[in-house]
Copies of this chain bind each other. A is one copy, B any other.
Amino acid sequence: MPRPIEIISVGNELLIGKILNTNAQWLAKRVTSLGLDVRRINIVGDDVEEISNALREAIQRNPSFVITTGGLGPTFDDKTLEGVAKALQRRIEVQDQALRMVEEKYRKYVEEGRMERVELTPHRVKMARLPDGAEPLFNPVGTAPGVVMKHNETTVIALPGVPPEMKAIFEESVVPLLKQAAGNVTFFETSIDVTGCMESEIAPLIDRIMHDNPYVYIKSHPKFEERTPHLEFHLSTTADNSEVAKKRVEKALTQLSEVLQEKGGKIKPSKPSIN
């Protein structure tokens, strides 16, 4: 069974619909491809109570990992670590290694001529204030370090909200942890587009194919791209072996294609979704 993971996105800009949650999609896709199972994504505002509640609720569901994004920067509304500390009932204090990471960044900015001198103002030191027992994760492209800590069986990871920083810390420091947890589990997926069929007509046939292929998940998505209504069928599975996963999906796809063609459907490979 793939290990469960939850994502918590922090930011008022997400709750007012100012921006699309591309971070959550990117993380969900990466995490799934590494063989873990994203069980839930929560979006909360820049509020200590809300962040704390969302994390506490997530931890009660006992996932292997919770990854948060956003709220690690120097401003008053960067409140994620305060929320995490509250949820886990830990003190929050300046952590030496994190402070050295932050200081080193500002030293580099001085060298690059972006600042005159390193001044560790309270707003900058704030980025090194970590919950007790947490470790910083090096940020190769920005200032605020990521954070990792264990709580019972759950590893809590906090990443910045700026996409290049989030992605860089994820690839460098989080992927190894997830790979180790996932073991050999592989996720395999494929999609086809079909015109000339109605979803309600195909629904009972899908039930039959899924019954014959109990490890393959088949989902139909009505689409309206380029003004042509069509159905996309997405097939996916998780297995301990990538060959097994691929074969399983291919067998179900063959069966599905036959059934769709019998019903007069025209099949073509699906275009990949926007990333």
Tell me which of B31, B115, B204, B217 contacts A12 (CB under 8 A). B217
Contact residue among B17, B42, B236 (Cβ-Cβ distance under 8 Å from A40): B42
Number of copies: 2
Bound complex: CA A171 to CA B94 (Å): 49
Judge whether A29 and B17 touch: CB under 8 Å.
yes
A27: chain B residues at CB < 8 Å are: 17
Residues of B within 8 A of A122 (CB): 204
User: Is A16 in contact with B203, judged by CB distance below 8 angstroms?
Assistant: no
Which residue of chain B has the shortest Cβ distance to A210 in the bound complex?
B76
Determine the chain B residues whose CB is within 8 A of the CB of A40 once the complex forms: 15, 42-44, 50, 54
Write the A12-24 contact mask toward B (1 if CB under 8 angstroms, else 0): 1111111111101
In the complex, chain B residues whose CB is within 8 Å of the CB of A133: none
Do A26 and B15 form a contact, CB below 8 Å, given A162-B222, A203-B123, A206-B75?
Answer: no
Instruction: Give the top 6 A-B pairs by smallest Cβ distance, nearest first.
Output: A17-B29, A17-B28, A41-B43, A74-B200, A123-B203, A15-B38
